[in-house]
Amino acid sequence: MGSKEAGLKLARLVISQLYKPKDWNMAKMDKMFFLKPESVIELIKECQSVVESQPTICKVNTPVKIFGDIHGQYSDLMRFFDLWRGPVDFSLGGDIDSFDYVFLGDYVDRGMYSLETICLLMALKIMYPTQIHLLRGNHEDKFINNIFGFSEECAERLRDDVEEPTSVFSTINQFFNWLPLAAVIDSKIVCLHGGIGYTVNSLEDITRLTRPLEVVHETFTMEQQVLIDILWSDPTESDREMGTHMNAVRDPNATGSIYSFGPDRVEKFLRQNKLELIVRGHECVMDGFERFAKGQLITVFSATDYCRKHKNAGAALFIHKNYEIVPRLIYPPDQSAQSSWMESEKRPPTPMRSKGSEDLNSSYT
């Protein structure tokens, strides 16, 4: 069997085991992950070969579904797929023939089922390489996911020696360095994980970055700062706060690299690049989605009850051919039914974004 055929066979196996929107039951989850480490590495390398062949900015068509941060909340992902179909063939109850899918990053950390989440998404990417788009988030970074839970999960559920360069943990972080950084939908909407910070002025600023990219948290070059801005920056607290500012919440160690950007930056970026909307993740918001800059930017967050602290809804955005934006929401399950956030006083969650004063219109035009 050729390597491509073997990769597709493995992807089908993973999908058959993990794509269970109606049958998934956390109470029946095994502590050990169902794949052996060598099979996980095979899956990673097959997905990496697909991602390496594609550009840093994905080109996407409507209709499209956009998902925000998942953070190992595999149950939330299954609930979305159960309620509104998922990215598989129609014969399996999916709608991949009708929708493209964009995931905005932060697949791992915080939650207990990062392996299920990222392995399913990699398998779907292998099966549908031009319709599934996995963007990079700030947690797709070895420095971060070695602290916030993913390395512990690999060690406990795969018996992985995370310090070894050939481990699952090391291999998947090499893959993360290849993930695309943005997606452009119909030349109108740009999607990325964090934002535009103070250095991202054009799409060319993103395409000029050469993958693989390791994140440097104390930046010394413009290229390093552009990557930090894409992965880490946030909008300012309100439409009244203009310009760019140091973000002390995200940067408690005062590295001087993490910024907030105002509505004036959003408007200028969109005008200069002939775009109409920014969709980003990165921040927990109470209703699962929230708009900024008079509707020119939307934050979407898909994991519910972030770190069991915020009681927030999770959202996905469905964008149709006429550019109508339809938010689809799920809500935190009964506490007795969910205990899939990792508990750690050493890893407090980032505070929830302050709720904006405006509601999302049905269309951004």
The catalytic residues are: 139
3-class DSSP state of 284: coil
Residue 167's alpha-carbon distances to 41, 145, 158, 171, 174, in angstroms, are 8, 14, 10, 6, 11
Residue 38's alpha-carbon distances to 43, 70, 166, 168, 289, in angstroms, are 9, 25, 10, 8, 38
3-class DSSP state of 260: strand
Using CA atoms, how far apart are residues 248 and 255, in angstroms rounded to an integer?
10
CB 298 within 8 A of CB 317: yes
Using CA atoms, how far apart are residues 138 and 109, in angstroms rounded to an integer?
11
Map tokens 């149709």 to a residue: 320
